Amino acid sequence: MNILSTLIESERLELRKSTKDDIDYILELTSKPENSKFIVRFPRVRYEKALESEDEMAIIIVEKSSGDRVGYFLVAGLRTHSIEWTHVVIDKKGVGYGHESLKLLKAWSFGVKKFHRGWLDCKDYNDRALHLYESEGLIREGIERDVLKIDDRFETLVIFSMLENEYEDRKQKKLEVDPEIILRAQTPYEFLT
């Protein structure tokens, strides 16, 4: 764990701030056919600017046992009360990393950074992501019909959100990770707690 860049971690995964060295990985990940059809892709300059931004950050998901990058998040609205989880892209699918990393992202967003609301949008035909967000307690707020024009067709987005009190309720029911326990367990230096 790099204490300067790690945001939060679990037994299997670490979420850390991206670096310049991660940009090629993010661009490759978002251009893979199994991912690119479900997101709006951004140019390199957006990720370069996010490195210095106070409002936006790319977060790398690292598999701790191998050190491999297994996905990434792009978050925005860091200077507001409502964080947008702009991109949720998992590279290593089928092993539970989507659920685990989203739990960590919620713990960081609500438990550490104290946001009031977290939200995202999802293409209405991305069944895997729709299932993930609903099973992780995000509330389906509504839809934006034909809001994106991709080539010659329009696409619809489903809006999901979670409020801090909903996160706290789920945490009380042991459906969410408690960032206080995670951060206390991973901090090797008492003066940092």
What is the structure's pLDDT at 183?
A: 60
Domain-located, residue 177:
yes
- For residue 193, tell me if it sits in a domain: no
pLDDT at 178: 82
Q: Does residue 192 belong to any structural domain of this protein?
A: no
Q: 99 lies in a domain?
A: yes
> According to the model, what pLDDT value does residue 2 have?
52
The pLDDT of residue 5: 86
Per the domain annotation, does 34 fall within a domain? yes
pLDDT at residue 125, rounded to an integer:
97
- Helix 127-135 to helix 97-106 angle (10° resolution) is 50
Handedness of CA 110, 10, 5, 41 (dihedral sign): negative
Residue 37 belongs to some domain of the structure: yes
Rounded Cα distance between 146 and 161, Å, is: 20
Q: How many domains does the chain have?
A: 1
Which mean pLDDT values do the consecutive 10-residue runs of the chain (193 residues) have?
75 95 98 95 95 96 97 97 97 95 96 96 97 98 96 96 97 89 50 32
In a domain, 21, yes or no: yes
Q: Is residue 12 part of a domain?
A: yes
pLDDT at 182: 63
φ and ψ at residue 182, rounded to 5 degrees: -60, -50
CATH number of the domain encompassing residue 45 = 3.40.630.30
Tell me which residue range forms the domain holding 12: 6-186
Which tokens hold the place of 169?
Answer: 């309720």
